[in-house]
């Protein structure tokens, strides 16, 4: 059983799919682990560490995937990068399938079974495999750190002989994993924090962290959560009411952090240009949804944009990757926990249970076809 750890092809992706610790564990499961040289350098893991953990380091990705039974990556690899894998090899990554059906078809053509880690169901046994939570947690923390770096003032209230420094006012829009971590981090730094979310369950979570909850709590609000724990898309009427409530609130804030994402859809627009224009000069907006179109009007992917009234809109890409070492450590553990379920420990060989709910939820391609019901081509009439 050969497991390949590939080096990410994008310069904007510093994370890696394995740590030295998980390499040791794979070897303990009976696998031969092959790592592409330099795969972990951007995450602070050198080739020597992988070799010390029992892996073989090879020249490049092509050498790593040759004869591989399992290929582990952070981002979905190109189909052309899978040449030489064993028939039916498992490819496991953050596959980003929405809107990339053509790429899935190409990978299916290689014969690989592609798994999307971000489609892991949110059930108790899969918590340790939940890459969305592990990476969003870091994104929420980093959002506050980035805000503090851009903000020209202190976060906590300070009583000094020269006068009192008021506490920064932070408003977090979206109280999922990223939002809750942003709330907790901003509170630790001494800010006065408020937050909003369309999911009723978020109110208690926000208040438990010491933040004030802001939302239109009508009948639609009470039904605004899916069975999987995600936010539902809200009606235009609700969005208008919520926008009216938050517009005046945003004008008083020093920092606004937006985290709202709906799987498979463009990010909802939460902050209009008029809201941005109403903020004080020197205020900061951090848009964690910029890769999906952004929550903030005027956000530019990969840039810090400054408006005419002196407000900065921060649109960093791949925010978990800005903490590459920690993000890779957690992602590698998510991957290992899933891969472990696909291996028979007695025979030390692959033994995928294709009817397992985790497999069915994450499997995109198999036997030359796109098989996930959410992405498979429509059957002819």
Active-site amino acid positions = 122, 127, 130, 133, 230
Residue 114 pairs with which residues in a beta bridge? 91
Are 133 and 120 spatial neighbours (Cβ–Cβ below 8 Å)?
Answer: no
DSSP-derived pairing of the beta strands 343-344 and 349-350: antiparallel
Q: What is the Cα–Cα distance from 162 to 62, expressed in whole angstroms?
A: 63
Strand order in the sheet with 2-5: 56-58, 32-36, 2-5, 70-75, 90-94, 113-116
Please enumerate in sequence order all residues whose Cβ is within 8 A of that of 317, keeping only pairs 6 or more positions apart, or say none: 12, 290, 291, 301, 302
CA-based max dimension of the chain: 79
Residue 36 pairs with which residues in a beta bridge? 58
DSSP-assigned letters across all residues of 253-285: -SEEEE----TTSPPPP-B-HHHHHHSPTT-EE
Instruction: Count CB neighbours of 26 within 10 A.
Output: 25
Angle at 18 between CA 291 and CA 43, to 5 degrees: 60
Instruction: Count CB neighbours of 181 within 10 A.
Output: 23
């Amino acid at each position: 059983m050969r497991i390949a750890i590939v080096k990410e092809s994008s310069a904007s992706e510093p994370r890696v799919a394995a740590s030295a610790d998980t390499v040791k564990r794979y070897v303990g499961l009976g696998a031969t682990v092959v790592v592409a040289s330099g795969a972990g350098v951007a995450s602070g893991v050198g080739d020597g560490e992988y070799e010390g953990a029992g892996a073989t380091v090879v020249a490049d990705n092509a050498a790593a995937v040759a004869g591989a039974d399992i290929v582990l990556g952070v981002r979905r690899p190109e189909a052309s990068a899978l040449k030489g894998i064993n028939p039916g090899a498992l490819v496991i990554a953050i596959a980003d399938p929405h809107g990339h059906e053509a790429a899935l078809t190409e990978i299916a053509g290689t014969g690989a079974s592609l798994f999307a880690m971000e489609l892991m169901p949110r059930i108790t046994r899969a918590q340790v495999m939940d890459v969305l939570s592990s990476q969003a947690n870091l994104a929420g923390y980093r959002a506050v750190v980035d805000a503090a770096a851009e903000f020209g003032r202190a976060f906590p209230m300070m009583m000094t002989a020269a006068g009192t420094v008021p506490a920064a006012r932070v408003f977090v829009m979206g109280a999922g994993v990223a939002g809750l971590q942003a709330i907790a981090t901003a509170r630790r730094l001494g800010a006065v924090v408020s937050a909003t979310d369309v999911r009723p369950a978020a109110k208690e979570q926000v208040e438990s962290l010491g933040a004030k909850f802001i939302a239109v709590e009508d009948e639609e609000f009470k039904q605004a959560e899916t069975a999987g724990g995600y936010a539902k898309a809200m009606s235009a009427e609700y969005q208008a009411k919520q926008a009216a409530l938050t517009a005046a609130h945003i004008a008083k804030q020093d920092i606004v952090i937006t985290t709202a994402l709906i799987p498979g859809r463009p990010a909802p627009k939460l902050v209009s240009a008029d809201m941005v224009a109403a903020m004080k000069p020197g205020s900061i907006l951090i848009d964690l949804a910029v890769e999906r179109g952004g929550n903030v009007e005027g956000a530019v992917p990969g840039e810090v944009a400054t408006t005419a009234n002196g407000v900065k809109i921060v649109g960093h890409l791949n925010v978990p990757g800005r903490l590459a070492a920690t993000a890779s450590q957690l992602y590698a553990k998510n991957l290992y926990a899933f891969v472990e379920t696909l291996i028979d420990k007695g025979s030390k060989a692959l033994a995928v249970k294709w009817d397992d709910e985790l497999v069915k939820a994450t499997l995109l391609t198999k036997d030359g076809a796109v098989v996930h019901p959410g992405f498979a081509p429509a059957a002819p009439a």
